């Protein structure tokens, strides 16, 4: 796409660093370089994708703003598909703001959030699912999340979508051929003869949609609350899993009054662990407020570690807490395995709902059993072995909804053809399935949805 204004932004994070990058994209990129960039030896023509060393100079005053490296990248072989100028400055915030101000005076305007990537999409450099993967790449919290984002950026999801799309086009072509030639002599294939092919495509759509849970968890992680009565070792467990002293540990009941939340990588999943106040009848208004917050957090969390003291018999508080946790996935954790054990596991099992994983015995003080606990957390989160991870995964609810809608359209078309629905109406359902699938890659996505997607990006990307 040509003829649009030129945009510019600082593309490195705020703060002081060794290098700061200013990116300019649009038809004025080369002109801005010629107005601001000076070298000892004049440059007749910038070679694309080459680095040049020189100075950025304010044209009005002749003042040198910084000693820089620039690269002029000629479109369409650039990130945005447009002529692009990248200025590598020293990484001081004042330097970057000053140089950017001169770039804007020289003919650019400030870029909006995600506008560089949006232009890459509009210019056909990326489809929409790949553009969204850029955001996932930047915000990845674990190596596994990073790897999944790279796969989407490289087109694994796009390729799978395109394969399904071509299969749907074949179904539509078969229906429309039957419509066009229904009265011709020699036509032996009636509309709806390929119902098995319909079902195969529907199954493919459902299989890809089913990867959403794993993909979302790998990208976003889950929340796990450590709950229990006072002095069972919740803060010690948090510190042990994190491998650092993050929460205060004392023998005084009620030490933890507020949430302490940290994210840890457990088997490639970002797990937000939350240490909470001990649950018991509160002794004062402050403690009551903390315990009320615990119950609120337990309602919204994804899973719970119910921590019990193995050196003591189950207390009424323990039993009451276990009975109230039935609505959430949970793992019973028996702490203080380094002490003589008095907790009755048979009684504990009788209080747990069917399907609850076996209790894990640990010593938060000495680290015994922590590996078994983190493995149990990982298994509870994913519920399937890691080696079954599909080659292409979705991680966005928008994708899941589009896939399910496409499958529903094909279901209706399949049922209609089987029941004698006019082929013209079945073809409309198949076309709607294609439109739904096109929402994932951007073939049929509305401008409003595009604006919402790219508004999540940072300025400069």
pTM for the complete prediction? 0.80
Q: What is the DSSP letter of 386?
A: G
DSSP three-state, residue 175: helix
Do 248 and 413 meet the contact criterion of CB atoms below 8 Å apart? no
- How confident is the model over 318-364, as pLDDT tens digits? 888 888 777 788 899 999 999 999 998 889 988 888 888 899 999 99
Average pLDDT over residues 411-439: 91
> For residue 279, what pLDDT band results from cuts at 50, 70 and 90?
low
- How confident is the model over 234-255, as pLDDT tens digits? 888 988 888 866 544 444 444 4
CB atoms within 10 A of CB 342: 12
- CA–CA distance, 236 with 244 (Å, rounded to integer): 10
Residue 422: the pLDDT is 85
- How confident is the model over 380-417, as pLDDT tens digits? 887 644 445 567 899 999 999 999 999 999 999 999 88
- How confident is the model over 132-161, as pLDDT tens digits? 999 999 988 889 899 999 999 999 999 999
Do 211 and 289 meet the contact criterion of CB atoms below 8 Å apart? no
Residue 245: the pLDDT is 63
Pairing of strands 360-361, 269-275: unpaired
Question: What domains are there in the chain, each with its CATH number?
Answer: 7-111 (3.30.1360.120), 131-211+393-454 (1.20.120.430), 221-387 (3.40.50.300)
- CA–CA distance, 55 with 89 (Å, rounded to integer): 10
Residue 185 has pLDDT above 80, yes or no: no
Most confident of 281-290, 300-309, 394-403: 394-403
> For residue 258, what pLDDT band results from cuts at 50, 70 and 90?
low
Residue 208 has pLDDT above 90, yes or no: yes
And the tokens for 354?
A: 């069917």
Residue 387: the pLDDT is 43
DSSP result, 84-131: EEEEEEEE-HHHHHHHHHHHHHTT-EEPPBTHHHHHHHHTTSS-HHHH
């Amino acid at each position: 796409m040509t003829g649009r204004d030129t945009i510019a932004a600082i593309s490195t994070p705020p703060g002081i660093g060794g290098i700061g990058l200013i990116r300019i994209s649009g038809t004025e990129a080369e002109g801005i370089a010629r107005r601001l960039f000076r070298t000892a030896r004049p440059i007749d023509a910038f070679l694309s994708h080459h680095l040049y060393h020189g100075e950025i100079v304010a044209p009005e005053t002749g003042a040198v703003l910084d000693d820089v490296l620039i690269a002029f990248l000629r479109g369409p072989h650039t990130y945005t598909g447009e002529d692009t100028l990248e200025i590598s400055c020293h990484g001081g915030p004042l330097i970057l703001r000053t140089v950017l101000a001169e770039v804007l005076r020289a003919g650019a305007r400030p870029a909006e959030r995600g506008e560089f990537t949006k232009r890459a999409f509009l210019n056909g450099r990326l489809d929409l699912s790949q553009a969204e993967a850029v955001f996932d790449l930047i915000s990845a919290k674990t190596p596994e999340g990073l790897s999944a984002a790279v796969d989407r950026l490289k087109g694994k999801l796009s390729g799978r979508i395109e394969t399904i799309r071509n299969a749907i086009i074949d179904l539509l072509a078969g229906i429309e051929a039957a419509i066009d030639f229904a009265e011709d002599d020699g036509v032996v294939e009636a509309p709806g003869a390929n119902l098995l092919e319909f079902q195969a495509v529907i199954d493919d759509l459902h299989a890809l949609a089913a990867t959403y849970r794993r993909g979302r968890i790998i990208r976003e992680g889950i929340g796990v609350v450590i709950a229990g009565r006072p002095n069972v070792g919740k803060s010690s467990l948090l510190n042990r899993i994190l491998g650092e002293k993050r929460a205060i540990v004392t023998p005084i009941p009620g030490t933890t009054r507020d949430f302490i939340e940290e994210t840890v990588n457990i088997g490639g999943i970002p797990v937000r662990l939350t240490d909470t106040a001990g649950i018991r009848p509160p002794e004062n208004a402050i403690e009551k407020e903390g315990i009320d917050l615990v119950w609120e957090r337990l309602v919204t969390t994804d899973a719970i570690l119910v921590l019990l003291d193995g050196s003591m018999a189950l207390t009424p508080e323990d039993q009451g807490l276990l009975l109230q946790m039935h609505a959430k996935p949970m793992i019973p954790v028996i702490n203080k395995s380094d002490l003589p054990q008095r907790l009755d596991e048979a009684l504990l099992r009788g209080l747990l709902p069917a399907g609850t994983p076996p209790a894990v015995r640990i010593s938060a003080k000495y680290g015994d059993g922590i590996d078994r606990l983190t493995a149990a957390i990982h298994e509870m989160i994913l519920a399937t072995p890691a080696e079954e991870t599909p080659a292409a995964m979705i991680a966005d609810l928008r994708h899941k909804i589009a896939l399910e809608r496409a499958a529903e359209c094909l279901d209706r078309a399949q049922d209609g053809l089987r029941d004698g629905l006019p082929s013209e109406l079945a073809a409309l359902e198949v076309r709607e399935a294609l439109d739904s699938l096109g929402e994932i890659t951007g073939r049929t996505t509305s401008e409003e949805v595009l604006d919402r997607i790219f508004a999540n990006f940072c300025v400069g990307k």
